[in-house]
Amino acid sequence: MNKLFFGAAYYREYLPVERLQEDIQLMKEAGINYVRIAESTWSTFEPQEGEFDFSSVTTVLDEMHKNGIAVIIGTPTYALPAWLAKKYPDVMATTSSGKNIYGHRQKMDITHPAFLWYAQRIIRQLLQATATHPAVIGFQIDNETKYYDTCSVGAQIEFVKYLKKQFNNDTDAMNNAFGLDYWSNRIDAWEDFPPIEGTINASLGCAFKVFQRSLVSRFLGWQADIVKEYKNDDQFITHNFDFDWRNWSYGIRAEVDHFKTSQVLDITGVDVYHPGQFHLTGAEIAFAGDIARVTKDQPYFVLETQAQAFKDWTPFPGQLRLQAWSHVASGAVLIGYWHWHSIHNSYETYWKGLLSHDLQPNPVYYEACTIGAEFNELAATVTRFSRRSRVALVVSNECLTAIDWHPWKGHQFNRDTLHQYNDVFREYYDALYKMNIEVDIIAIDDDRLFRYEMLIFPLLYTVSDERLQQINHYVEEGGHALFSFKSAFADENMKVRTCVQPGIISKAVGAHYQLFVEPDQTLLHSDVLTLSPEESEVSDWMELITPDENTDVLARYAHPYWQQYAAITHNHYGQGTATYIGCHISTAALGEVYRHVLSNTLYQHEPLPTEKSPVIIKRGFDEHNNIILYYFNYSSEPQSVLFNAPTGRLLFSGNTITQNEAITLKDWDVQIIIVETAK
């Protein structure tokens, strides 16, 4: 793909006035070359059962095509018509909070046959009406699909059959694996299985989440198979994954496995939302990209990202362009705004599009025009280059769910926030992001895991013996592993190991512990890490580590009773090294650990990057090892960076730049330089 798709979600059905021609004109002026349509308006297409009308879609297809704008068709299955919920109330999911009622989207039971029957019919009808249209370049199946906390009877029955199969019909095997003797929770006949939403057994609870996530993969796979019956070979199937949500995209989703599910897609798509204005850092853009790109080792789509959105996200001048090029630098080849125009009614009225409700050009739209022009000019060049990471962070939905049961922050049963896993994961990610170490994010069970020079494991809590032994082997063979606290604690059924912790990886790590305690303002004491007192603070979790004889202690605890224990260790094992961080430390301290470990391993023979956040640098390579360099300034202050290759070409100006010349970056600016080392 040597094209950059630039566009928006377009909802002609939502607009209170007819203005398709005006919209297309404004789109063309902005360099918009695709729109995504049709993904939320089932009731418009099928206003009454079996009565179909796709004229709103076909009109858009015809007019877009005439104007050279491509179209992605979305299947409209994430929002049900009222008549369907009225006729078959069971299509609304029963969750752990009770039966959903109609109104909000994504409240259906994606396993219920009545829903599936009507869903496949609307998909087939829509595709019959549109799939062969020359405007259509591909299909988005459903939208940000999750399992919606489905605990419906059908899902529960299916889960029991799933366990029955997993345990070869042997309840004893399950009771043992899950520890169900505790509090008399044993199940000695499958028909006695209690309602899953009541369980207090973390192992069983996590097994159910694995099952629920598999429902999402199955549902999207089923939709993909239907779409394949209608699409031609040039048309792609994609889907827009979203992320954990803390008023913006944050960490991985508990309710869907991005890696497994992306296998049913041709191209992985993501929706990326992030803080703006003075709080824009680019971290969420990079994070989402470092997952999406890796799912299929391929360029990916940003099917949704913010234009104006909320009052606190409406971009400062320059930020929209900075964001767009950041996506490209991470490997995106499609940037789509959510959405073209702001919506005049209902729920998301204040989640604004490129156009305000006035549907007129405005400062944000005008900045999009600049981006469109730049994309058009540079697409062929920039898409030649792809990313290569020497380091990977290893992610696990199972660990995320497990940490939800046994959080590390706050007192037992009084947890601060849900998904504390993502806090640690993002801290381990962000510290690398800030020091311009480029990474991939990969799942723990991925076959490609060991292709990296360094693997970082935040909260690798629940994982099989076999995988841990492979990690030991990876280190032995020269890999570098870095683990956070609580890693390797429990087996794949969330059963805590009965060996001295951190168990199997103690071999590589060269250290062990028996007790963990509350830091209560404990500081790190270190001879090798340079930290202020504030940066030294240990919070929420600390393991009392005893290193083996030859293991390096990077930090100990400054504490009247625990000063003899290590906090952070680093060990040479075989040809590689293993680092263990036994406590929750500041991002600054993480950076120092990374600096120490990297300069003694991957960067032993070259300097670490000198630029740091808010200057962010990304790099791509083509098949001849030519390099493309992106320099981003994520701040309101101008920045200056010394160019450190012999010579390069500035893409926006066409000027040449030579070694040690200053690259100047205005506030919220980007520069792109090509270094043709291959010549």
Q: How far is the CB of 129 from a copy of itself (least distance, A)?
A: 17
* Residue 278 found at the interface with a copy of itself (CB under 8 A): yes
Tokens 């979790």 belong to residue? 541
Site for a copy of itself in 45-104 (CB under 8 A): 47-48, 76, 79-83, 85-86, 101-104
Q: Which of residues 104-123 bind a copy of itself (CB under 8 A)?
A: 104-105
How many degrees, rounded to 5, is the angle at CA 460 between CA 457 and CA 464?
A: 120
- Assess 13 for contact with a copy of itself (CB under 8 A): yes
To the nearest whole angstrom, how small is the minimum distance from the Cβ of residue 612 to a copy of itself?
23
Return the number of the residue (363 or 478) whose C-beta is nearest a copy of itself. Answer: 363
> 267 near 238, Cβ under 8 Å?
yes
Residue 507, amino acid: K
Contact criterion met (CB below 8 Å) for 204 and 180: yes
Task: Give 154's contacts (C-beta < 8 A, 6+ positions apart).
Answer: 109, 111, 112
List the one residue out of 661, 665, 655 whose CA is nearest residue 643.
661
Q: Which of residues 615-654 bind a copy of itself (CB under 8 A)?
A: 636
Determine which residue in the list 40, 94, 145, 671 makes contact with a copy of itself, applying CB under 8 A: 40
278/550 with CB nearer a copy of itself: 278
Q: Which residues touch 436 (CB under 8 Å, ≥6 apart)?
A: 609, 611, 612, 613, 615, 616, 617
> CA dist 104 to 29, 80, 145, 243, 483, Å?
35, 9, 14, 19, 41
* Interacting positions 550-579 with a copy of itself (CB under 8 A): 560-561
CA–CA distance, 46 with 44 (Å, rounded to integer): 6
Would you say 377 or 518 has its CB closer to a copy of itself? 518
By CB under 8 A, the residues from 289 to 308 that bind a copy of itself are: 308
Stretch that binds a copy of itself, among 20-28, 132-140, 156-164, 310-318 (CB under 8 A): 310-318
Which residue number, 124 or 619, has a Cβ lying nearer to a copy of itself? Answer: 124
Beta strands in 245-390 (DSSP E): 267-272, 300-306, 332-338
Q: How far is the CB of 204 from a copy of itself (least distance, A)?
A: 8
**345 belongs to the binding site for a copy of itself (CB under 8 A):** yes
In angstroms, what CA-CA distances link 224 with 237, 253, 265, 294? 7, 21, 7, 21
| Beta strand pairing call for 70-74 and 34-37 | parallel
Mutual angle of helices 420-434 and 587-599, in 10-degree steps: 50
Q: Nearer Cβ to a copy of itself, position 219 or 236? A: 219
Q: How far is the CB of 493 from a copy of itself (least distance, A)?
A: 8
The gap from C-alpha 262 to its chain's centroid, in whole angstroms, comes to: 12
Nearest CB to a copy of itself, comparing residues 117 and 561: 561
- Where in 495-554 is the site for a copy of itself (CB under 8 A)? 495-501, 514-518, 520, 541-542
Stretch that binds a copy of itself, among 338-346, 384-392, 605-613, 644-652 (CB under 8 A): 338-346
Cis before residue 339, ω within 30 degrees of 0?
yes
Kindly give the residue spans of alpha helices, DSSP state H, lying in 149-199.
153-166, 171-178
173 to 202, contacts with a copy of itself by CB under 8 A? 176, 178-189, 191-195, 197-202
How many residues bind a copy of itself, per CB under 8 A?
A: 103
**Cβ proximity to a copy of itself, 191 vs 606, nearer residue:** 191
Q: How far is the CB of 520 from a copy of itself (least distance, A)?
A: 6
Nearer to a copy of itself among residue 86 and residue 228 (C-beta): 86
